[in-house]
Amino acid sequence: MNDFGAFVPGPRARLAPLASGPLDNLTFVAKDLLDVAGYVTGGGNPHWERRQLPASTSAAAVDCLLRAGATLVGKTITDELAFSLEGENEHHGTPINPRAPDRLPGGSSSGSAVAVAAGLADLALGTDTGGSVRVPASFCGVFGWRPSHGRVSMDGVVRFAPSFDTVGLLARNAAHLQLGAQCLLGTLPAAPPSARLLLATDAFALADSEAAAVLKRSLGVFEEAQVFAGRPADFLEAYVTLQGLDIMREHSDFLGSDPIFGPTIKPRFDSVRALDPAVGTRWNAWRAETTVRLRQLLPSGTFLVLPAAPSIAPLRFLRDEAAGRFYDAALTLGSIAGHAGLPAVSLPIATLHDCPLGLSIVAGPGEDESLLALAVKIA
């Protein structure tokens, strides 16, 4: 059976359900940043992997799905320590996008999205810091959910940038996404909300014109809103800076061990090492003010609509200026939810040039249940 390169090298991880529950007869995979009892958490990097012992217990999110009746059928490839949105891994190979084999799968939850899109699992656990569930969901044509910050336990998960990190979920259909997400949240599903939808016009301006036009045609007519307050570059600079300072606090010891990274990942870690911690004061203040503004924009029942990614998946191993523009635009879009700790879903509602294209919907803090119900209603 073709596994599309979704799984980490070596024996396939498998754990039986720990109980019977709402996920009976469903299967799931876990990104190689989440502990699975009896297996090493490799983080997508051989140098990191060699420093680890097999996990004695599974991550809380893995354990939750097992206790809800699901069967774990593998650990999936991640971009190195989650520092990417493209889905490439120099060491373990780049998973093949089942919907567009000549294009990237998206990252950093690349293997998780590919496994779901290829029908190798019903659900997939991933992590989302700056878009690492939402971008691969868009590229591979599946549903993806990033929870409100702090609502799903990060116990047993390799931290990357803790003030932005979340454990998210991917699924081939919205009903399974909602079912799995409610298990992780530990709450009952909400009734489909009476929704007020705001079209983030300045966010759509960051997307390729063709992609923006296709997504808008799929939407109908909505109210318009501005999210960047005229300065999208601030969202990107704040994110890159604060994420980088988080990384240094979390991983300075590992980075000091002179690890070997792939050619696209190494410059990103080099830039993190060069950051001046003093700049964090300015951007933390900016983030606090922006969080208040974005949360005021999204009272209960109001949702923000924007592209999940700025384009369809780029061609595999593309190295040009367009690749840099994609990464900056994708981070800027992903940072809207990340800065303010907001939940978001990516819905596979469109195609362009026969490639999937996802729409992202962002809700107010803690409004995950209503957001998931809205995703089911739209789907």
Indicate which residue of 58, 84, 108, 346 is catalytic. 108
Select from 117, 172, 100 the least CA-distant residue to 379. Answer: 172
> Which residue in the list 132, 138, 360, 370 is annotated as catalytic?
132
**Residue 279, number of CB atoms within 10 A of its CB:** 15
Would you say 168 and 65 are in contact if contact means Cβ atoms under 8 Å apart?
Answer: no
CA distances from 176 to 118, 183, 362, 376 (A): 16, 11, 19, 9
Q: In angstroms, rounded to a whole number, what is the distance separating the alpha carbons of residues 212 and 347?
A: 15
Say if CB 330 and CB 313 are below 8 A apart.
no
Sign, CA torsion 234/108/211/320 = positive
| Residue 108 known to be catalytic | yes
Contact between residue 70 and residue 57 where contact means Cβ atoms under 8 Å apart: no
∠ CA 220-221-225 to the nearest 5 degrees?
A: 125
Residue 230 corresponds to which amino acid?
G
Determine whether 349 is exposed, middle or buried from the number of CB atoms within 10 Å of its CB (0-12, 13-18, 19+): middle
Do residues 26 and 176 lie in contact, with contact meaning Cβ atoms separated by under 8 Å? Answer: yes
**Strand partners for 72:** 15, 28
State how far the Cα of 226 lies from the Cα of 18, in Å rounded to an integer.
46
* Tokens (6 digits) for 181: 């997400």
CA distance 342 to 171: 20
Residues 6+ apart with CB under 8 A from 178: 189, 372, 373, 375, 376
Q: Is 132 a catalytic residue?
A: yes
The continuous run of DSSP H or E covering 325 comes out as helix 321-340
Q: Would you please indicate which residues are annotated as catalytic (active-site) residues?
A: 31, 108, 132
